[in-house]
Structure 1
């Protein structure tokens, strides 16, 4: 459409004149007699009457101000309403067009998503990523949907990302094997029956391998100190019973916590004091 030109036909700035100088002089003359007035407790009624008279005058002035302002702003309100009415005419055409454009854009993004996903799946297979790390590769940046972002650059970035995730997974697998081997070693050496999964799960809480190995050593000593019967020979023990890991925050006295730790250790439960 041709460039729309909005022209102002008549603009009259709001202006109002009233007897300001006259009122100011009258107030200075009349109010001076109230300045410095002091009332005793007996004059409480007279004091209240004086306040009422002064507030009455102030209220009359404020009422005049509000009514005059309303008259002055009425043309402004009408002007804004007219502009809004014209704006609605634009919206009646713009909104349907915008809906079409949004639909086109969503279809374009979906098409690009279908081009990106096979690249990700191929990289997951080549790097042998498990669910934990493959999910991170699927969670790619929204900028990949930008028109300026080419598939070639996307594939290059995803390849680097997949290699990095693969290295993290390899390290995690190696750390788990180290921990499991240490658990097996300590069990064989001390006749205990600690479970590897209890300790490998600590890796998910950013606990280092060295810290976990130290915890295993401490747990073995605690079990030995309490003459704990290995779980495999304990009455009612189910060899293949599934183990779980929960993180708790416990509050209590020093004695309470010592009793809790003794209970967990005596029942073959692996535990660790987590640093806050």
Structure 2
């Protein structure tokens, strides 16, 4: 391929010679009589006729321009088509090779993905993560690039798994605190508050706030059952 060199054998820039100076002079002379024309309302028809005449001359010039441009670009179009034909010869060879390369790349990614997934399963087991926290250990697309080493991926996942383990332990401990507090209040006040509404608050509230909310709910429940006297 190094010996392949595209060489221009002949390049003739498009040149068009026409009577520009003559036309320019004639137009200046003929159009000067229209400059500064003023029409009254009753001369509307004459005004329209004048505009039509001028537009007719302008259209004639534009038609000539488009026709000439089309003739000039015939060789350019032919040149582009020949280059595309040559490029197609490259594509006939490149495309099958690219398909092979893409297949190799997909296989490489899949092998790496399986290795990472295996390590994630290992971390889930070691940290004892439940489904909620295990779902946060993902095979990121960036992990599958060639530049991202298995070693660095494992280090990153290990740190993340440890943090998830700590978060899970805290969550479970907080659940027990909330359950115990609900039980304590129920026993103390002889009421029957359910646990589930307060446990569901753990994802977005602190334990202290939830405990306070339990106590408030208990007061409301007690007031509801107090006898009312008129």
Residues 151 and 52 of structure 1, relative CA distance in 2, 3 Å threshold? same
The answer as to whether partners of 2:182 and 2:194 remain within 8 angstroms in 1 is yes
The answer as to whether partners of 2:178 and 2:207 remain within 8 angstroms in 1 is yes
Residues 3 and 144 of structure 1, relative CA distance in 2, 3 Å threshold? farther
Which residue matches 1:161? 160
1:42-191 equivalent positions in 2, closer than 5 A: 42-137=42-137, 139-191=138-190
The separation in 1 between residues aligned to 2:215 and 2:34, in whole angstroms, is 90
1:229-268 equivalent positions in 2, closer than 5 A: none
Which residue matches 2:17? 17
TM-score (norm 2): 0.85
More helix by share: 2
The answer as to whether partners of 2:117 and 2:139 remain within 8 angstroms in 1 is no
The separation in 2 between residues aligned to 1:70 and 1:207, in whole angstroms, is 74
The separation in 2 between residues aligned to 1:119 and 1:33, in whole angstroms, is 90
SS at match of 1:15: coil
The separation in 2 between residues aligned to 1:198 and 1:122, in whole angstroms, is 34
The separation in 1 between residues aligned to 2:70 and 2:23, in whole angstroms, is 22
SS at match of 2:7: coil
Which residue matches 1:38? 38
The separation in 1 between residues aligned to 2:166 and 2:19, in whole angstroms, is 85
The separation in 2 between residues aligned to 1:24 and 1:216, in whole angstroms, is 94
The answer as to whether partners of 2:112 and 2:144 remain within 8 angstroms in 1 is yes
The separation in 1 between residues aligned to 2:41 and 2:215, in whole angstroms, is 86
SS at match of 1:136: coil
Q: CA deviation at 1:47?
A: 1.4
The separation in 2 between residues aligned to 1:25 and 1:221, in whole angstroms, is 102
Where do 5+ consecutive residues of structure 1 fail to align?
229-276
Which residue matches 1:245? none
Q: CA deviation at 1:190?
A: 4.2
Q: CA deviation at 1:141?
A: 2.5
The separation in 2 between residues aligned to 1:122 and 1:17, in whole angstroms, is 81
Where do 5+ consecutive residues of structure 2 fail to align?
none
CA-atom RMSD, angstroms? 2.4
TM-score (norm 1): 0.72
